[in-house]
């Protein structure tokens, strides 16, 4: 135990295969292990371990039923989904301890992992609170005292549903019903971990709250569940990061994230997804924006084998705003199937979608966008821009925009472009002394530059580094 | 003596030969001009020296301070001290001038060494002032939406910052009005010195009134057909290219 285990055969090989910072794993003893495969007993096991109240047990079982009923969406999505073997996955793994409030109390092997990923350091530098999830449960969860004093609640989902049922129950599963799709149903059945955040009226949280999701075990499925409620006039920024070691077998990550921005509130949700290339990342994310409220998703997908994620905003109140800014980088063998859903459900609502994707080698990026403005509404606006950059001749990009606008007096704009970095640009940069890989990196960073600016500084630096690493491997 | 030396260079694009045995030596400290009609192979010479992937060298060699550079990647040649001011500089969206030049300078340092930012910006601003480039250009994306004159000034700015030992200026005067021509020329003249060799490629003599060459070479059909001093350019201006063909 506590010994560093290279996840692929040799260290040298590992360094060559995966240059990313997250590719390592420690041997950890799990106190609770739901075993392999999913049945009603698995769900009962999870309920018992987590000491779920009855209504949660019932909610899980209904979710399980819907999961079994719902077909795989292979009729419109990638056939690669058929390669997920649900019977081979472990649905719950934990050391059975409540999340710690200080890093000193976190078990050594888990602490080492997060230290290596730089989480405690980031927390000291620029975060208002951190939750660090290791496999099924949070190992650490803490909020800066000053923020807690303002009445902000930032805890794990289990603590949220136990300690704050009056707020939790009101919104849980309401933005995304468990039967929304097969994977939201699966998450509803076996969810564990994730954050619960409540920001009281008028409170503006000045620094971001952050969650970090770490998969350590092989054949494992991580199913966190996050619920964020910003009460009237409140403002909060939440960031999530994630990594996993590169295993030979497939790993599943299937989260559900629900956001509620009440009147005049603002929620900004930032994701930097850097799962290893064996992870199926199938995530449902949606926000509700009430009158004059704003929900903004800033979504960056670099890792995973297949990501399917279409953050959405339902603009329920007058003048509500929804925004999705997304960057996807599909490397060799990866498929980033991402996009946005904007549902206008009140007058004078505004939505904005900006998506940029980069496909390298045999990588494939797909944009799917849905914009819905029904007939009875007035003065709604949508702007959609999606730009794709192809690096190699065998790279692929697809765009599937679905815009339904009924009624009059709406304004809708849609622009799309596909471009390639041309050889003359690379030659020009090489003539200034930059290697071919450095020239490519610079051009790719230039392509996403305007979107990267929207990330907090610490994340934009990390993003640039990740893009550089990907490009280094793709040239030569 | 340190030189950039081109020996019996033959080069083609696809199946089409363009350079037919060109020989030319530029010592450090001298400015040479190549003049020639359109299609004589002037720009091909510049691109072949810089290592453009579209061209194939079929015979001959190019030596930089005695070392053959033809087997090297374009960036390796650049880091050895070869700079090409492009006739048509490329636009690089999203990459600012300041970041680009910084990356190019960083590429010349050992891996564990970080470019000193304060000093870098001090130098950059000084050179920009000398070339009458407004400060806000540092934040503009490289060549994107630049006028012809702005692009050429930006080329000279890069040249001044990267301090090459050999500069090849490919039709730097094309697309410049007289004011821009004066600014660009004085920028080039400021870089002249005992440690720099320059090759100025131009169609017109006009540029050579401002950048006065030590030697002038006339190029036709892929090789040098006549060499002389700066008066040769004046003769060419007065009499046109036709008498060359009669030689």
* Interface residues from chain A to B (CB-CB < 8 Å): 423-425, 427-436, 438-439, 442-443, 445-450
Flag whether pLDDT at A11 surpasses 80: no
Flag whether pLDDT at A13 surpasses 50: no
Verify whether the Cβ–Cβ distance A442 to B79 is below 8 Å: no
Q: Report the pLDDT averaged over residues B135-152.
A: 94
Give the CA dihedral A371, A180, A216, A339, nearest 10 degrees: -10
Q: Which of A430, A433, A450 sits opposite B94 (nearest CB)?
A: A450
Residue B247's pLDDT band, with cuts at 50, 70 and 90, is: low
How close does chain B come to A13, measured CA to CA in Å? Answer: 23
Flag whether pLDDT at B8 surpasses 80: yes
Let me know the angle formed at the C-alpha of B121 by B120 and B122, rounded to the nearest 5 degrees.
90
* Domains in chain B with CATH codes: 3-93+166-246 (3.40.50.300)
Is residue A272 within 8 A of residue A302, CB to CB? The reply is: yes
- Helix and strand numbers (H, E) in chain B are 8, 10
Is residue A263 within 8 A of residue A291, CB to CB? The reply is: yes
Q: B181-203 pLDDT, tens per residue?
A: 999 999 999 999 999 999 999 98
Verify whether the Cβ–Cβ distance A427 to B141 is below 8 Å: no
Flag whether pLDDT at A287 surpasses 70: yes
> What are the chain B neighbours of A472 within 8 Å (beta carbons)?
none
Residue A21's pLDDT band, with cuts at 50, 70 and 90, is: low
Which pLDDT score, from 0 to 100, does residue A474 have?
64
Flag whether pLDDT at A126 surpasses 90: no
CA dist., res. A239 & res. A270, Å (int):
5
Is residue A255 within 8 A of residue A228, CB to CB? The reply is: no
ipTM: 0.97
Flag whether pLDDT at A9 surpasses 50: no
Residue A15's pLDDT band, with cuts at 50, 70 and 90, is: very low
Q: Report the pLDDT averaged over residues B142-147.
A: 94
Q: B205-237 pLDDT, tens per residue?
A: 899 999 999 999 999 999 999 999 999 998 888
Verify whether the Cβ–Cβ distance B89 to A435 is below 8 Å: no
> What are the chain A neighbours of B103 within 8 Å (beta carbons)?
434, 438, 442
Average pLDDT, chain A: 89
Is residue A386 within 8 A of residue A338, CB to CB? The reply is: no
Verify whether the Cβ–Cβ distance A433 to B95 is below 8 Å: no
Q: A373-389 pLDDT, tens per residue?
A: 999 999 999 999 999 99
Verify whether the Cβ–Cβ distance A424 to B90 is below 8 Å: yes
Q: Which of A428, A437, A450 to mutate to test the interface with B (most CBs of B within 10 A)?
A: A428
Q: What is the number of CB-based contacts under 8 A between chain A and chain B?
A: 79
Q: A210-267 pLDDT, tens per residue?
A: 999 888 888 899 999 999 999 999 999 999 988 888 877 889 999 999 999 999 999 9
Is residue A316 within 8 A of residue A290, CB to CB? The reply is: yes
Residue A468 vs residue A130, higher pLDDT? A130
Flag whether pLDDT at A3 surpasses 50: no
CA dist., res. A38 & res. A47, Å (int):
14
Flag whether pLDDT at B130 surpasses 70: yes
Which pLDDT score, from 0 to 100, does residue A217 have?
87
């Amino acid at each position: 135990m506590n010994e560093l285990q290279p996840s692929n055969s040799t260290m040298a090989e590992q360094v060559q295969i995966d240059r990313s910072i997250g590719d390592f794993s420690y041997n950890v003893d799990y106190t609770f292990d739901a075993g392999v495969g999913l049945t009603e007993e698995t769900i009962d096991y999870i309920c018992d371990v987590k000491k779920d109240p009855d209504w949660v047990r019932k909610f899980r079982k209904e979710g399980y039923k819907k999961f079994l009923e719902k077909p795989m969406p292979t009729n419109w999505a990638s056939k690669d989904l058929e390669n997920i073997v649900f019977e081979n996955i472990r649905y719950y793994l934990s050391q059975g301890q409540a999340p710690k409030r200080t890093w000193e109390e976190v078990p050594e092997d888990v602490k080492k992992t997060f230290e290596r990923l730089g989480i405690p350091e980031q927390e000291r530098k620029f975060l208002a609170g951190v939750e660090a999830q290791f496999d099924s449960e949070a190992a650490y969860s803490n909020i800066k005292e000053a923020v807690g004093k303002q009445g902000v609640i930032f805890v794990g989902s289990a603590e949220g549903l136990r300690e704050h049922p009056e707020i939790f129950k009101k919104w849980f599963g309401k933005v995304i019903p468990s039967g929304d799709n097969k994977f939201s149903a699966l998450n509803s059945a076996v969810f564990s971990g994730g954050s619960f955040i409540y920001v009281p009226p008028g409170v503006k949280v000045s620094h971001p709250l952050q969650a970090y999701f770490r998969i350590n075990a092989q054949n494992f499925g991580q199913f966190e569940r996050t619920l964020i409620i910003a009460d009237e006039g409140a403002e909060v920024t939440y960031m999530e990061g994630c990594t996993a070691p590169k295993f030979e077998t497939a790993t599943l990550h299937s989260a559900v994230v629900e956001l509620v921005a009440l009147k005049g509130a603002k929620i900004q949700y930032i994701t930097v997804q850097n799962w290893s290339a064996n992870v199926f990342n199938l995530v449902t994310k949606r926000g509700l924006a009430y009158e004059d409220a704003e929900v903004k998703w800033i979504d960056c997908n670099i890792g995973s084998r297949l990501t399917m994620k279409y953050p959405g905003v339902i603009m329920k109140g007058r003048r509500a705003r929804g925004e999705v800014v997304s960057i996807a980088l599909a490397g060799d063998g990866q498929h980033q199937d991402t996009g946005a859903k904007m549902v206008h459900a009140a007058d004078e609502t505004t939505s904005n979608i900006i998506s940029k994707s980069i496909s390298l080698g045999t990588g494939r990026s797909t944009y799917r966008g849905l914009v819905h403005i029904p007939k009875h509404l007035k003065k709604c606006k949508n702007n959609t821009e999606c730009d794709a950059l192809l690096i190699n001749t065998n790279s692929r990009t697809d765009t599937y925009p679905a815009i339904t606008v009924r009624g009059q007096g709406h304004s809708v704009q849609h622009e799309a472009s596909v471009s390639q970095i041309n050889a003359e640009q690379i030659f020009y940069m090489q003539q200034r002394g930059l290697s071919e890989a450095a020239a490519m990196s610079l051009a790719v960073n230039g392509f996403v530059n305007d979107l990267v600016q929207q990330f907090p500084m610490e994340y934009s630096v990390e993003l640039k580094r990740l893009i550089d690493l990907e490009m280094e491997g793709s040239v030569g | 003596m340190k030189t950039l030396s081109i020996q019996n260079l033959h080069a083609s694009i696809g199946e089409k030969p363009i350079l037919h045995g060109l020989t030319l030596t530029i010592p450090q400290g001298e400015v040479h001009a190549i003049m020639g009609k359109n299609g004589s192979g002037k720009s091909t010479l510049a691109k072949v020296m810089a290592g453009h992937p579209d061209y194939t060298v079929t015979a001959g060699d190019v030596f930089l301070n005695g070392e053959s550079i033809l087997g090297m990647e374009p960036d390796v040649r650049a880091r050895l001290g070869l700079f090409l001011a492009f006739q048509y500089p490329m636009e690089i969206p999203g990459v600012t001038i300041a970041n680009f030049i910084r990356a190019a300078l960083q590429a010349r340092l050992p891996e564990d060494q970080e470019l000193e930012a304060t000093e870098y910006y001090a130098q950059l601003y000084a050179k920009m002032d000398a070339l009458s480039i407004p400060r806000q250009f540092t934040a503009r994306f490289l060549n994107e939406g630049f006028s012809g004159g702005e692009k050429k000034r930006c080329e000279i700015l890069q040249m001044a910052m990267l301090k090459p030992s050999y500069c090849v200026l490919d039709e730097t005067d094309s697309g410049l009005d007289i004011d821009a021509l004066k600014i660009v020329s004085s920028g080039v003249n400021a870089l002249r010195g005992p440690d720099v060799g320059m090759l100025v490629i131009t169609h017109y003599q006009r540029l050579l009134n401002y950048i006065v060459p030590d030697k002038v070479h006339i190029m036709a059909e892929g090789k040098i057909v006549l060499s002389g001093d700066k008066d040769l350019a004046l003769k060419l201006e007065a009499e046109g290219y036709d008498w060359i063909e009669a030689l």
